[in-house]
Chain A
Amino acid sequence: MSSFRRVFTSSVGTKLLIGLTGLALFAYLILHLAGNLLIFFGQETFNEYSHKLISNPLVVPVEIGLLLIFLLHVYKAIINWMGNQAARPVRYEKTEWAGHKSRKSVSSVTMIWTGLMTLLFVVVHLKQFRFGAWYEIGSPPIRDLYRTETELFTAPAWVAVYVLCVILVGFHLRHGISSAFQSIGADHPVYTKRLVVWGTAFAILIGGGFAIIPIWVYLTR
């Protein structure tokens, strides 16, 4: 029997970790989107929500946990991608997609690139929001995140960058959600087929949901 460490470095173990961390990040995105959509209820509601969130003592430990999950996902995915590149040193002269029952799509063949773009985007996004301009409002004063957001999205270039990036996240999820369930071993005669459909639906909802916000802010400000 091989060492315990091999559990996490084997092809199956690696994909199990990528799948589990991916699903955790997917769950987080749902919560994140739900929170962000509160911006449609106006400045006060949005700021109250953001204040409740950042004044919770658990927020920092949760953020650190989330960061570790994110980094593990990125690290394992990059290692996995490099190993997969090495598995076919000589390329084909001619290749076709098999079609039929295959789930191969633009989304599935670009996972590493949409993933790396998401990584870049997350760095910029954290800098602009989590560690971005700090305004205060009301008494006692709380952070006016609404102002930070609306100021950023008065610039059409940033609106475009955010919309493009969240669409890429949507593409990543389009293959990622159903793939993650397969990686952790979920298979069922009925639900497996629905998983692909639901994964696509969630990808559109999350990508589209996040994309609407900067556009809406830009148009209404």
Chain B
Amino acid sequence: MRITLKVWRQSGPAKAGTLVEYAADNVSADMSFLEMLDLVNEGLIARGEDPIAFDSDCREGICGACGFLIDGLPHGPVRGSTVCQLHMRSFSDGDTLVLEPWRAKAFPLVKDLVVDRSAFDRIIQAGGYTSINVGGARDANSILIGKDTVEQAMDSAACIACGACVAACKNASAALFTAAKITHLSLLPQGQVERYTRVVRMVDRHDDEGFGSCSNEGECEAVCPKEIPITNIARMNREYLKATLMRGR
């Protein structure tokens, strides 16, 4: 396959960026999208040019490190997948693809397709934890939790914090990420102690980072590699309402 890439190249946060065209030749349909980029980068390095910077780690779709827009869609056109688990067979020979980094005030650009997502870490630090004294490992079933609750909490916990929700949202809102973390912990008994302080602190931190608000369109849900539904956001709103009305602040 031969693919033409138009990649956002920007050497640093304060530098000007632009789309630069590259030809990817001899692309196998079985390559992952990132392997295809590795191939392009090998060519660039051989020519003495600066390789395209992009994030990746596990390349198994579970770590959340990778991600950029392919033709205007975070993680590309395949549902429920990260770019590392997207394969070139999803494209056709001769395709031209535009690659851009996540765009958000809260995700400052580092280089090319790499953005700084530490805003997510700070949202977690604000309340995405449970204060439990850790000792020896406890028996896994010492706290009984209903099957449905476990499944629901796990569906939310599946969030890998890749940032695709922010990238897809017209308001660059991290509502889905924040809501998934709040939902996960508010459903489980271990999360009850900090349940109401958590939601307020995490939402406040979310806003302080410069993310927008939720317009309830659900673009985030549609691009989420873990297909986390926006019903999580409704739960976050409900938890927030309870936290502010019933407990004061």
Contact across chains for A94 and B98 when beta carbons are under 8 A apart: yes
A104 CB contact (under 8 Å) in B100, B218, B233, B249: B218
Complex-state Cα separation, A83 to B33, whole angstroms:
35
Contact across chains for B219 and A98 when beta carbons are under 8 A apart: yes
How distant is A84 from chain B, measured CB to nearest CB, in Å? Answer: 4
A184 CB contact (under 8 Å) in B71, B72, B222, B241: B241
Contact across chains for B237 and A16 when beta carbons are under 8 A apart: yes
Contact across chains for A178 and B216 when beta carbons are under 8 A apart: yes
A182 CB contact (under 8 Å) in B203, B213, B216, B241: B216
User: Interface-forming stretch among B37-45, B47-55, B137-145, B169-177?
Assistant: B169-177
Contact across chains for A86 and B215 when beta carbons are under 8 A apart: no
* Interface residue B5 (Cβ < 8 Å from any Cβ of A): no
Which residues of chain B (1-35) have a CB below 8 Å from chain A? 8, 19
Contact across chains for A7 and B100 when beta carbons are under 8 A apart: no
* Interface residue A41 (Cβ < 8 Å from any Cβ of B): no
> Beta-carbon contacts of A46-62 to B below 8 Å, as 1s and 0s?
00000000000000000
Which residues of chain B (161-181) have a CB below 8 Å from chain A? 168, 170-173, 175
Contacts of B237 in A (CB 8 A): 12, 15-16, 182-185
How distant is B226 from chain A, measured CB to nearest CB, in Å? Answer: 13
- The tally of residues in A whose CB lies under 8 Å from a CB in B reads 48
Complex-state Cα separation, A8 to B45, whole angstroms:
53
Complex-state Cα separation, A86 to B211, whole angstroms:
9
> Beta-carbon contacts of B82-111 to A below 8 Å, as 1s and 0s?
000000000000000010100111100100
Contact across chains for B215 and A100 when beta carbons are under 8 A apart: no
Contact across chains for A86 and B105 when beta carbons are under 8 A apart: yes
A98 CB contact (under 8 Å) in B73, B216, B238: B73
B215 CB contact (under 8 Å) in A2, A179, A186: A179
How distant is B130 from chain A, measured CB to nearest CB, in Å? Answer: 19
B212 CB contact (under 8 Å) in A1, A11, A93: A11
User: What residue in chain A is nearest B241 (Cβ atoms)?
Assistant: A185
A87 CB contact (under 8 Å) in B72, B98, B106: B106
A12-B213, A15-B214 are known contacts; what are 20 more A-B pairs with Cβ within 8 Å? A1-B197, A2-B200, A13-B244, A14-B213, A80-B213, A87-B106, A88-B171, A90-B103, A90-B109, A93-B8, A102-B217, A102-B222, A103-B217, A182-B216, A182-B233, A184-B237, A185-B236, A185-B240, A187-B235, A192-B231
Residues of chain A whose beta carbon lies under 8 Å from any beta carbon of chain B: 1-4, 6-7, 10-16, 80, 83-84, 86-104, 108-109, 111, 175, 178-179, 182-187, 192
Shortest beta-carbon contacts, A-B, top 8? A185-B238, A187-B234, A87-B212, A98-B222, A96-B72, A84-B171, A11-B213, A84-B212
